[in-house]
Amino acid sequence: MKRFLILLGIASLLSACQTKQNTQNMITSSDIQAGVNAILTAYPDADAALVERGVKQVAQLWTENDGSKDDFIELVSTSYAGTEADKLLLYYRLAYILEQCSQSADMLNNTLQDPTTLVDKGEPISVDWIISGYDPMAHFAEDMFANKLAHICILNFPHYSLHEKNTMGTQWTRQEWAYARLGDAFHTRMPGDVTSAYSQTLSQTENYIAGYNIMMHTLRTETGEALWSEPMALLSHWNLRDEIKSNYAATPNAHDKQEMIYQVMLRIIRQEIPACIINCEDYTWSPYSNTVSQADKVINAERESDTRYQQIINIFHALQRIDQYRTDAPSHLLRTFNEDLEIPIEELEALFITLIESDEIKQVGQLIRERLGRELRPYDIWYDGFKSRSSISEDILTAQTQQRYPTAKDFEKDMNRMLMDLGFIPEKANEIASHIVVEPARGSGHARPCVGRQQPARLRTRISNKGMDYKGYNIAVHEFGHNVEEVISLYDIDYYTLAGIPNTGFTEASAFLFQQRDMKLLGYDSAGAEANNTSLDMIWGMYEIMGVSLVDMRMWQWLYQHPQATAAQLRDAVIKIAAEVWNQYYEPVLGEKDSPLLAIYSHMVGYALYLPGYPIGQIVQYQLEEHLAKCPTPEAFAKAYTRIYQQGRLTPDAWMRGAVGSPMSVQPILKAVREQLQKH
């Protein structure tokens, strides 16, 4: 999972609110006209409409603290870059300032967070948890408005709406796109203490999630049997889900293990899980009866007291403070879909529902039922039998990955080879790999990008003292896909403010592209019969994550309708929302009315509305896979991949049209699945 956005995503968050101190009538229309006239007098050939747009946007953000009306007119009349040469020079200077400030702050952040994020830095102490929530950039936008640099940026590089980017942008040059993205950096403003408080809350929640391990060897059936004999700590939800997936292979007690993990997940969602067994192996626990024992004696164990849902409430309250400063987009929902993802929520929900209620999904469900030889269960939403690896015991795969990657550094040393196996020429593979470092993560795996060209991208992955197991390897390859995108979309970009991708879904698409090839990178032939089921595997994955995303989206809608909700009320609401989504779209295929399983994702707890980025990524991935399949050689694949991600941070619509020649759609995969089903 990629949690961290690059420069302009960060800058947009830092400056993401209109200040409440803005006196709406302070700068009048006559003041604006005076500023426009002064500029046009000095530069009579200037684009009058563009000048007016910039001056108006500065006026909208001008506060009493910024100065008088005369100060406003003085600033706009003397700070306009009136020639193309002057404007380009100003762009490069502002882009340089943003890059240097952002990467310096990110370097400091990485260093300060090392004790809480990396296992090789020793056990963190109390001050480490405190400083991990520190945001060196919290007051950056505030400072830039105070010294007027932000005003100068807005004046010369005004902001464009999403609609304008998608319509006018079809005619823009790369330079005009770069100017427009610079216009996103300071188009709104808020106090630094609000940003800092939000960062601190996110950090506290991340720490909660990073320590939410279930010790599988302490779980017991109702007859006292241990299904996992070797010590195994699985992080919720990621590793629990992956353990379900691994048991579609022919392994001992596979179905019993899946059923037990399902019970564990239900206890977590309903907050019935005993608090004492989380990240602790001093007790044994039977998830079915929810009984805890110590030294073979049943004890009275208190449940976790809605802590999971209190984390969400805490983040919501931190975001409510941001809402107060954002009159044009006064909710996290609006900002997420209209600004961060740049896809309206109604459009995205309709896209998801088109797929999850399709006849093709019902037919794939029937095929899985036939393959398993039993009625489907809710956890079969993670059915993994369409992959070629599903016929190979995970123990065999783990033995290989542990031998190959005893440490994180061994994975790092092998990145060159992996890139060349995918078709990158040696020079390019070496260049990309040289900008990536691999580090052993304390929590789940994630990728952290290089926000400037003087620091590496970071691949964080879980690895035990026995080496990297297959689950860890699979996740590491996913994160590697993020890192490769991050390096190419920064180092191969023509304008710094275009560095990156349209939204998180597009970096997820790269991660999925790599993850889909994890067996190839282990040396397995991917040309077998099972490999032909790629479209079936991908649509089933979309079906799962789209439902999870719908629950996440509706949870946030509920929060804004019930802003004073308690953690207990949120818990009940989430269970109800998850059950409603399940009953409408999943129970007809997977059975079990009212299952709340879709609410298990830890992203819902700590990464506010990050989840919709995943199905976006899967949709984009499929369209990219379809496009890249036309490449005759691995070398052609690598060149096409590089070209696509060199586009940088356009809008989703513009990026997709440039990548594959068509907008984002679920129709290509539905068509492919129909064709594939005819062969079964």
Number of domains in the chain: 4
> Does the N-terminal peptide bond of residue 446 adopt cis geometry, omega within 30 degrees of 0?
no
- Summarize pLDDT for 42-69 with one digit per residue, the tens: 999 999 999 999 999 999 999 999 999 9
d(CA 617, CA 348): 12
214: enclosing H helix or E strand: strand 213-215
Confidence class for position 310, pLDDT limits 50, 70, 90: very high
CA–CA separation, 474 vs 461, rounded Å?
Answer: 10
Neighbour count for residue 191 (Cβ, 10 Å) = 19
The pairs formed by 81-86 with CB atoms below 8 angstroms and a separation of 24 or more are 81/156, 82/39, 82/42, 82/43, 82/46, 83/43
The predicted pLDDT at position 462 comes to 84
Residues 190 and 55 in one domain: yes
State the amino acid at position 422 in one-letter form: L
Whether residue 369 lies inside any domain: the answer is no
Q: Scanning the structure block, which residue is given the tokens 């079906």?
A: 543
The percent of residues above 90 in pLDDT, for the chain, comes to 81
Note the pLDDT tens digit of each residue in 377-388: 999 999 998 876
Q: Are residues 36 and 149 in the same domain?
A: yes
On whether residue 410 sits in a domain, the answer given is yes
Tens digit of each residue's pLDDT (9 = 90 or more) over 251-291: 899 999 999 999 999 999 999 999 999 999 999 999 999 99
- Choose the final residue of a domain: 592, 611, 630: 611
CB-based contact 16:322 (threshold 8 Å): yes
Residue 177 shares a structural domain with residue 109: yes
Residues 290 and 410 in one domain: no
Res 15 pLDDT > 60: no
**Do 604 and 618 fall into the same domain?**
no
The whole-number average pLDDT for the span 609-614 is: 94
Using CA atoms, how far apart are residues 637 and 290, in angstroms rounded to an integer?
A: 51
The answer to whether residue 217 sits within a structural domain is: yes
The answer to whether the CB of 314 falls within 8 A of the CB of 204 is yes
Q: Is residue 2 part of a domain?
A: no
Do both 411 and 516 map to the same domain?
Answer: yes
Tens of pLDDT, residue by residue over 631-676, are 999 999 999 999 999 999 999 999 999 999 999 999 999 999 999 9
Residues 547, 407 share a domain = no
Nearest residue to 658 via CA among 452, 498, 539, 545: 498
pLDDT at res. 132:
85
Rounded-to-integer distance, Cα 389 and Cα 530, Å:
9
Are residues 618 and 599 part of one domain?
Answer: no
Residue 389: pLDDT band by 50, 70, 90 thresholds? low
pLDDT at residue number 534? 84
Give the CATH number of the domain where residue 625 resides: 1.10.1370.30
Report residue 436's pLDDT band, with 50, 70 and 90 as the boundaries: very high
In a domain, 229, yes or no: yes
> By the 8 A CB rule, do 11 and 182 touch?
no
- Single-letter residue type at 267: R
* 282 CB burial (10 A radius; 0-12, 13-18, 19+): exposed
224/130 same-domain check? no
* Amino acid at site 237: H
Shared domain check, 215 and 71: no
Residue 169 sits in the same domain as residue 35: yes
CA distance 443 to 210: 4
How far is residue 542 CA from its own chain's centroid?
15
Burial bucket for residue 192 (CB in 10 Å: 0-12, 13-18, 19+): middle
Picking from 378, 239, 238, the residue whose alpha carbon sits closest to that of residue 228 is 239
Between CA 213 and CA 396 the distance in angstroms is 24
Domain boundary among 611, 636, 661: 611
Give the H/E segment covering residue 293: strand 291-294
Residue 237 in tokens = 């939800």
Which domain does 190 fall in, by range? Answer: 7-208
For the cut 90, the answer to whether the pLDDT of residue 526 exceeds it is no
How large is the average pLDDT for residues 402-413?
Answer: 96
What is the pLDDT, as a whole number, of residue 680? 77
Task: State how far the Cα of 360 lies from the Cα of 366, in Å rounded to an integer.
Answer: 10
Whether residue 379 lies inside any domain: the answer is no
Q: Is the pLDDT of residue 17 over 50?
A: no
Q: Is residue 130 part of a domain?
A: yes
Angle at 211 between CA 205 and CA 216, to 5 degrees: 140
Q: Among 182-196, 294-308, 358-372, which is the least confidently predicted range?
A: 182-196
Give the mean pLDDT of the chain.
92
Q: Are the CB atoms for 39 and 76 separated by under 8 Å? A: yes
How confident is the model over 463-480, as pLDDT tens digits?
888 999 998 999 999 999
Taking the C-alpha atoms of residue 402 and residue 219, their distance in angstroms, rounded to an integer, is: 25
Q: How confident is the model at residue 429 (pLDDT cuts 50, 70, 90)?
A: very high
Counted residue by residue, the chain has a size of 680
Do 69 and 32 meet the contact criterion of CB atoms below 8 Å apart?
no
Q: Choose the final residue of a domain: 170, 189, 208.
A: 208
pLDDT at residue 13 above 60?
no
Same domain, 419 and 290: no
Residue 261 in any domain: the answer is: yes
pLDDT digits (tens, 9 = 90+) for 108-124: 988 999 998 898 888 88
β partners of residue 441: 118
- The confidence score (pLDDT) of residue 45 equals 95
Q: Predicted confidence band at 421 (pLDDT cuts at 50, 70, 90)?
A: very high
